[in-house]
Amino acid sequence: MFSSKFKHRRVYFASMQLLAAAILLCAVVSGAYASSHREAPLITTMPKVDGTDFYMFNSYEPNRRGYVTLIANYSPLEDAYGGPNYFALDPDALYEIHIDNVGDGRSHLTFQFRFTNTVNNVALNVGGKQVAIPLVQAGLVSAGDSSKLNVNETYTLKVSRGAFHEDSEEVVTGPGGITTFTKPTDFIGTKTFGSVSGYASYARQYVYTINIPGCRAPGRVFVGQRKESFAVALGKTFDLLNLNPLGPTNGNPNDLADKNITSIALEVPTHCLIGERGNRVIGGWTTSSIRQERLLALNPGSGKDTPEKSKGGWTQVSRLGMPLVNELVIGLKDKDRFNNSKPTNDGQFAEYVTNPTLPALIESLFPGVKAPTNFPRLDLVFTFLTGFQGVNQLATVTPSEMLRLNTSIPPTPKGSQNNLGVLAGDNAGFPNGRRPGDDVVTAELRVVIGVLCTFNNPAIFGCSPSDAPAGAAPLTDGAAIDDSVFDGAFPYLTTPIPGAMN
């Protein structure tokens, strides 16, 4: 618990005073309490590059100590029945996972994914003519037979090092030296794949063991559709918090329970992520970028032109570290700007963390819940911008918004994890990284209303219990989640919902 970790730190108090002064000049945005689905005006028009969740945790699969799992979810609110084209990722986009192992808010290790969609032009003999079919499959598909697929989605993976990508990009290879990996087709239905277990077997064959340049041990990669991993009372939350924040943690249905998601999952040796400096704490976030110019073809489908062509430099359109900074903290006028920004430049969003609007909104909607009165909110600075000393903070750190993970804290096995993470004494969980089963909605809701103030360490958190009258309130959105609804092995997120049952 925090209270046992931060007693009598006079030296640290002095450094905290200096940090507080710096924060007034260059603080950055804090987190909110939801996942990042359709969070900014521009990204709503580009669901294929809309990052929704980012997870980073010490792998807790048995016999995988010494590895870190990184999962970036894209394409929000996928209806399982969304045929006939389903949910391919964008072949004209760049998907990246960034690691800061220095503490300066810059990406020093970047994993870059590019996708290619190939139409196989499967045709049927109709009246003596070969006519192209309108579907992505022409028959049953299984782990041993993908011959009936009409569309193949593949990807390449590269890694670059250096804060300015000054080192050349290097290609990640798979079994037999392959450089192109396959993304399994979405779960069209149980007739196409035989059964739920049949699809699970089919998708499992696309978990690849990979060789990452610069790493002494192999890693793993999987890209494919999974069951939506986030839980939230989405409709009620955005209807002016139309819920009972003091009700049971399972008092509302999860509005995302019937949705799927597309996941980019990596498992990387820890030594490869911490870098030459050997910093045990790393920061991470995911982004997607598109070309500056996109041109629609005049005659798409003629065999000569694709529907659109892209050119120009990359422009970042989605960014996600902590769950959901942009959706409920950043002002509407700055949401697209935040998605285009980098952690090292987060000083431009100082006002949103020093004077956060979410606690004030909660207070205005629920008069019995009093928002914290300590400004600037240094308790939020710790949670979202710097990490906690002794848990997930580097010796020197540039305040910036990202997930932070202490790779030296042993993982808590599945079945023993506390879904409130560090707040409940499970230091292997959120905000020390983020596991799929961490209830970040409840945890962050309690943090923004002042739970850290109740630990009565004003020298550390910049507040005392009197500053947060509702700090001890067990606030929740009522959509519970924990590790029991996830797998215990990579890629951890579970088999997606089928589009149809046979």
* Residue pLDDT, tens place only, 257-270: 899 999 999 999 99
Pairing between strand 109-119 and 93-100?
Answer: antiparallel
Q: What is the mean pLDDT of residues 144-157?
A: 94
Instruction: With a cut of 70, say whether residue 285 has pLDDT above it.
Output: yes
* Residue pLDDT, tens place only, 447-494: 999 999 998 888 888 899 999 999 999 988 888 899 999 999 999 999
pLDDT at 301: 65
Domain ranges for the chain, please list them.
43-467
Please state, in angstroms and as integers, the Cα–Cα distance from residue 500 to each residue in 190, 191, 194, 285, 472, following that order: 6, 8, 11, 34, 45
Q: How far apart are CA 77 and CA 317, in angstroms?
A: 18
Report yes or no: 177 and 218 within 8 Å, Cβ to Cβ. no
pLDDT at 388: 87
**Residue 303 neighbours by CB distance under 10 Å:** 6
Residue burial 475-485, b: 16+ Cβ < 10 Å; e: rest: bbbbbbbbbeb
Q: In what order do the strands lie in the sheet with 219-227?
A: 51-58, 67-79, 259-269, 219-227, 208-210
pLDDT at 38: 63
- Amino acid identity of residue 243, one-letter, is L
- The residues, any chain, with a CB within 8 Å of residue 413's CB and separated by 6 or more, are 60, 62
pLDDT band of residue 151 (cuts 50, 70, 90) is very high
* Residue pLDDT, tens place only, 36-56: 566 556 677 788 899 999 999
pLDDT at 450: 93
Q: What is the mean pLDDT of residues 121-147?
A: 93
Q: What's the helix, strand, coil split of the chain in %, to 5?
A: 25, 25, 50
- Range in 8-12, 251-255, 345-349, 417-421 the model is least confident about: 8-12
* Residue pLDDT, tens place only, 176-230: 999 999 999 999 999 999 999 999 999 999 999 999 999 999 999 999 999 999 8
- The residues, any chain, with a CB within 8 Å of residue 321's CB and separated by 6 or more, are 54, 283, 284, 285, 286, 343, 401, 402, 403
Instruction: With a cut of 60, say whether residue 302 has pLDDT above it.
Output: no
Please state, in angstroms and as integers, the Cα–Cα distance from residue 480 to each residue in 256, 347, 438, 502, following that order: 12, 34, 10, 30
Structure tokens at 419: 């879904």
Instruction: With a cut of 70, say whether residue 115 has pLDDT above it.
Output: yes
Q: How far apart are CA 246 and CA 475, in angstroms?
A: 5
Instruction: With a cut of 60, say whether residue 304 has pLDDT above it.
Output: no
Instruction: With a cut of 60, say whether residue 34 has pLDDT above it.
Output: no
Report yes or no: 89 and 75 within 8 Å, Cβ to Cβ. yes
